């Protein structure tokens, strides 16, 4: 069987839902009013914003007025981290995050260090998990912000968000807890109120929505120093005419992705386990990085083929129409090894031979079967070609 394309790079971005792309185009052409305008076209735009806010708020079980629209995960993370630190700096100058965050979290923290803040970067265990105890130990009387991602984009490890938030609450309820939920929103259970999350970042293109649009859940009462200045849009936190087609597309994509979430994830979990087990059976020398196959997010896993270069495996799979990644998309062009794989202490060969497979509920069983068969044969071929003796 030859499948045209098996896209397994869904952590980098996802294929937009066709029906939503059509709807986004329709809004661009027909409901193009500026939501701030007083006439009918403006009201149409305002209605789109309101409905979108409602849809996202319902999924997160929060109030509509706690949703702020942004241009994506990077902006949401920057707004949250820079915004909280600068707004509350009188309370203290200590911040906590982890060493396996996305660059859109790490870079704002690097910036804050230059502004005089002290940042603790917690190192995870070899499965990519940061324990609540470790977070608790790092807290000081000067800690004002803790930012920890929900699902890691490279290895799929899931952080114990509720337990971490309980540890923060126990110590000082004023500490603001931000969660980068870009890889988990619509996939894993997420409820800021139940899990004690104050601010949460999401990005539409990770759940089959349009690129360049995202949102921030901002708990009522928490203040941010805005990054940009302009009109009063989005409570003055994110001024600029709203991207109504993109925002509406994001809300619809969230709704579609969230429907039957549990069933979709159960299927992905079984496909993931089947993928890993089949590969391990044929190639027992490979290494599953981070969480074990029954643990971690159902849609992301990372495998090293020690002795082979990840990039060579990637391009060999591409020859068969299978698209994967060697690390996080933003790093895969850089020549340095992944900071996440380094943090979980992979040896040099495993670092160089790592491949991330990231699945979506839109991948069919047939596609996964094809990808398994081809990955096994591609790796056998490369092993022979490079005369690996394993």
Ligand X SMILES: Cc1ncc(COP(=O)(O)O)c(C=O)c1O
Report the site for ligand X in 4-33 (rule: CB under 6 A): 11
Min dist. Cβ of residue 297 to ligand X (A):
11
Q: What is d(CA 121, CA 149) in angstroms, rounded to the nearest whole number?
A: 13
When asked if residue 73 is in the footprint of ligand X (CB under 6 A), the reply is yes
**Which region, judged by CB under 6 A, interacts with ligand X, from 2-10, 39-47, 56-64, 180-188?**
180-188
Min dist. Cβ of residue 188 to ligand X (A):
13
N-to-C CA span, the chain: 29
When asked if residue 35 is in the footprint of ligand X (CB under 6 A), the reply is no
**Which region, judged by CB under 6 A, interacts with ligand X, from 66-74, 278-286, 309-317, 360-368?**
66-74
Min dist. Cβ of residue 331 to ligand X (A):
10
The answer to whether 48 and 27 have CB atoms below 8 angstroms apart is yes
The residue within the footprint of ligand X, chosen from 14, 74, 165, 375 (CB under 6 A), is 74
**Which region, judged by CB under 6 A, interacts with ligand X, from 68-76, 226-234, 289-297, 347-355?**
68-76
Min dist. Cβ of residue 14 to ligand X (A):
11
Helix (H) or strand (E) holding 106: helix 103-114
The gap from C-alpha 251 to its chain's centroid, in whole angstroms, comes to 17
Residues forming a β-bridge with 158: 151
Name the residue whose CB lies closest to ligand X: 73
Report the site for ligand X in 213-242 (rule: CB under 6 A): 214
The answer to whether 37 and 233 have CB atoms below 8 angstroms apart is no
For 92-224, list the strands marked E by DSSP.
Answer: 94-98, 118-122, 143-147, 176-180, 199-203, 214-218
Radius of gyration of the chain (CA): 21
Residue with tokens 């937009």: 16
The residue within the footprint of ligand X, chosen from 53, 94, 102, 299 (CB under 6 A), is 102
Helix (H) or strand (E) holding 20: helix 18-30
The residue within the footprint of ligand X, chosen from 10, 52, 104, 195 (CB under 6 A), is 104
Q: Name the DSSP letter for residue 283.
A: -
The residue within the footprint of ligand X, chosen from 98, 153, 304, 358 (CB under 6 A), is 153
Residue with tokens 């619809």: 252
**Which region, judged by CB under 6 A, interacts with ligand X, from 73-81, 91-99, 225-233, 292-300?**
73-81
Give the list of residues 6+ apart from residue 70 with CB closer than 8 angstroms, or none: 76, 79, 213, 214, 215, 216, 238
Number of residues in contact with ligand X under rule CB under 6 A: 16
Q: What is d(CA 365, CA 110) in angstroms, rounded to the nearest whole number?
A: 42
Told to judge if 194 belongs to the known catalytic residues of this protein, a careful annotator would answer no
When asked if residue 66 is in the footprint of ligand X (CB under 6 A), the reply is no
Nearer to ligand X, 93 or 358 (CB): 358
Nearer to ligand X, 329 or 382 (CB): 329
291: how many CB neighbours lie within 10 A of its CB? 22
Report the site for ligand X in 279-338 (rule: CB under 6 A): 329
CA angle 206, 212, 213 (to 5 degrees): 75
The answer to whether 199 and 176 have CB atoms below 8 angstroms apart is yes
Min dist. Cβ of residue 280 to ligand X (A):
26
When asked if residue 156 is in the footprint of ligand X (CB under 6 A), the reply is no
When asked if residue 180 is in the footprint of ligand X (CB under 6 A), the reply is yes
The residue within the footprint of ligand X, chosen from 35, 45, 72, 298 (CB under 6 A), is 72
Min dist. Cβ of residue 181 to ligand X (A):
8
Min dist. Cβ of residue 308 to ligand X (A):
25
Catalytic residue among 28, 123, 223, 330: 330
Q: What is d(CA 340, CA 152) in angstroms, rounded to the nearest whole number?
A: 9
Give the list of residues 6+ apart from residue 110 with CB closer than 8 angstroms, or none: none
Nearer to ligand X, 148 or 372 (CB): 148
Residue with tokens 């849809």: 55
- The residues of the shown chain that bind ligand X, judged by CB under 6 A, are 11, 72-74, 77, 102, 104, 149, 153, 180, 182-183, 203, 205, 214, 329
Catalytic residues: 330
């Amino acid at each position: 069987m030859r499948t045209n394309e098996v896209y397994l790079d869904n952590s980098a971005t996802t294929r937009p839902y066709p029906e939503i792309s059509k709807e986004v185009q329709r809004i661009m052409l027909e409901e193009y009013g500026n939501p701030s305008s007083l006439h009918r076209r403006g009201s149409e735009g305002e209605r789109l914003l309101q409905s979108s806010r409602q849809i996202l708020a319902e999924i997160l079980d929060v109030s509509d007025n706690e949703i702020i629209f942004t241009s994506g995960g990077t902006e949401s993370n920057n707004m949250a981290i820079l915004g909280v630190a600068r707004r509350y700096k009188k309370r203290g100058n200590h911040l906590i995050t982890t060493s396996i965050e996305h660059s859109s979290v790490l870079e704002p923290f690097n910036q804050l260090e230059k502004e005089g803040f002290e940042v603790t970067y917690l190192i995870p265990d070899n499965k990519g998990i940061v324990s609540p105890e470790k977070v608790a130990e790092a807290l000081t009387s000067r800690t004002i912000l803790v930012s920890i991602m929900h699902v890691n984009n490279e290895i799929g490890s899931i952080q114990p968000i509720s337990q971490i938030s309980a540890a923060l609450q126990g110590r000082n309820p004023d500490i603001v807890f931000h969660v980068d939920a870009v890889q988990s929103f619509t996939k894993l259970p997420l409820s800021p109120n139940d899990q004690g999350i104050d601010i949460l970042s999401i990005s539409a293109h990770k759940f089959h929505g349009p690129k360049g649009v995202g949102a921030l859940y901002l708990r009522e009462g928490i203040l941010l120093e805005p990054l940009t200045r302009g009109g009063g849009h989005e409570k003055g936190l994110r001024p600029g005419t709203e991207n109504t087609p993109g925002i509406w597309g994001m809300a619809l994509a969230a709704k579609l992705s969230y429907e039957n979430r549990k069933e979709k994830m159960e299927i992905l979990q079984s496909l993931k386990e089947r993928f890993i087990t089949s590969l391990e059976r044929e190639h027992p020398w490979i290494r599953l990085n981070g969480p074990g196959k029954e643990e971690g997010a159902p849609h992301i896993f990372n495998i090293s083929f020690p002795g082979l270069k990840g990039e060579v495996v990637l391009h060999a799979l591409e020859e068969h129409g299978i698209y994967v990644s060697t690390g996080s998309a933003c790093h895969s062009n850089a020549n340095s090894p992944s900071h996440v794989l380094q943090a979980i202490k992979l040896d040099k060969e495993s670092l160089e031979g790592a491949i991330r497979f990231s699945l979506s509920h839109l991948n069919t069983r047939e596609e996964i079967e094809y990808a398994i068969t081809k990955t096994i044969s591609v790796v056998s071929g490369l092993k022979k070609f490079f005369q690996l003796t394993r």
